[in-house]
Amino acid sequence: MIVIITAHSGSDGLISNSLNYLRTATKWSIDALEIDVRRAADTTLILSHDYTMTAPLTLEDAFIDIQKSTSQCLINCDLKDVGIATEVMKMATKFELQQRLIFTGAATKADQLEFGEKLWRNIDTILPNSTFERLLQDRDFFESALIQAKDEGAVWINIPYRLLHPLNLELLKVSGLKISVWTAEDLLTVRYLESYGFDNITTLAAHDYEIFLEGTKENE
């Protein structure tokens, strides 16, 4: 089984959502890189996990830089605001990056209908009054979220690995959904999650994992 490895924004000690992060990550042999996208006060789409960044990179400038690189990795736009997915896709299309785009984060049922398997649906965005604590402690609620996701046309489910206790793992295995897990903070956690056969692992150790694979090949 081929596992997608996604570099979490700021992977391997880089500054999240920075130009240096993009230029460095696009030189790695990774399957995907993540950027956080939100709308600024002036309505510009920017790269920022929250509103604390000064002079954040605009999404347009990020796409321009990615387009210039030789990398063909997927671009995971983690949406921090509801209602921006369509605009993000339009901008990606402007730079001929639309085939490489995937979405996670603050998406809706309408986004699911529009983007289908390009949306890796965050499990906490599916049911009302959803929290990670409830998804962890209430097996029936967790199962209902998976069922609702499939009913809305989801192909992928995006889930924090701390929710992966044995009962939830059983439900995930029989759900028929592709499973994306975040965020593995180090190489050991990547290897641990990899053993479960998840379809995507988002990690802060993407380059470390690349080096590990290179060492494995050299020893074969």
For each successive 10 residues of the chain (220 residues), what is the average pLDDT?
Answer: 91 97 97 97 94 85 98 98 98 98 98 98 97 97 98 98 95 97 97 96 98 81
CATH number assigned to the domain comprising residue 148: 3.20.20.190
The C-alpha atoms of residue 153 and residue 94 are separated, in whole angstroms, by 27
pLDDT value of position 220: 63
The C-alpha atoms of residue 191 and residue 66 are separated, in whole angstroms, by 28
pLDDT value of position 108: 97
pLDDT value of position 54: 76
For tokens 């380059």, the residue is 207
Q: Are strands 32-39 and 45-47 parallel, antiparallel or unpaired?
A: antiparallel
pLDDT value of position 50: 85
Number of domains in the chain: 1
Cα angle 197, 202, 206; round to 5: 105
Total count of residues recorded for the chain: 220
HEC string of 168-194 equals HHHHHHCCCCEEEEEEECCHHHHHHHH
pLDDT value of position 77: 98
Cα angle 13, 15, 19; round to 5: 125
Phi, psi of 151 (to 5 degrees): -60, -30
Domain holding 196, by residue range, is: 4-218
The sign of the torsion formed by the CA atoms of 99, 56, 85, 158 equals positive
